[in-house]
Amino acid sequence: MLLPCAAMILACAGCYQPSTEHGAALFRKDCAGCHVPRPGQTSYVPSLAGYFDREPRPSERKTRRQIRDGGKYMPPFRLRLSSHDVDDLIAYLKTTR
């Protein structure tokens, strides 16, 4: 009984397919306030447009850590976003140009 259950869990590991639509909604809700400067506004944080096209290319691991733990001016989102939310946010960031 235990073996079939373990096999099902292992087979499904990685089954989650990130949603760029949900990532976009999360970005608008949690990120855009700082990372999308308004006209005439000076921003002290980077725009995230084309984030994964930058050189040197940011790693997903480092990006995940930044989202989870925050940074100098960025709050941590560890308690606010689930691991699937972070997956969705990263999927969305990969689509921005």
What are the extents of the domains in the chain? 56-97
Q: Encode pLDDT of 75-97 as tens digits.
A: 999 999 999 999 999 999 999 98
Considering the entire predicted model, what is its pTM?
Answer: 0.80
Task: Assess whether pLDDT exceeds 80 at residue 12.
Answer: no
Report the CATH superfamily, name and number, of domain 56-97. Cytochrome c-like domain (1.10.760.10)
Annotate the chain with three-state secondary structure: CHHHHHHHHHHHCCCCCCCHHHHHHHHHHHHHHHHCCCCCCCCCCCCCCCHHHCCCCCCHHHHHHHHHHCCCCCCCCCCCCCHHHHHHHHHHHCCCC
Q: Encode pLDDT of 20-73 as tens digits.
A: 999 999 999 999 989 986 766 767 788 899 999 999 999 999 999 999 999 988
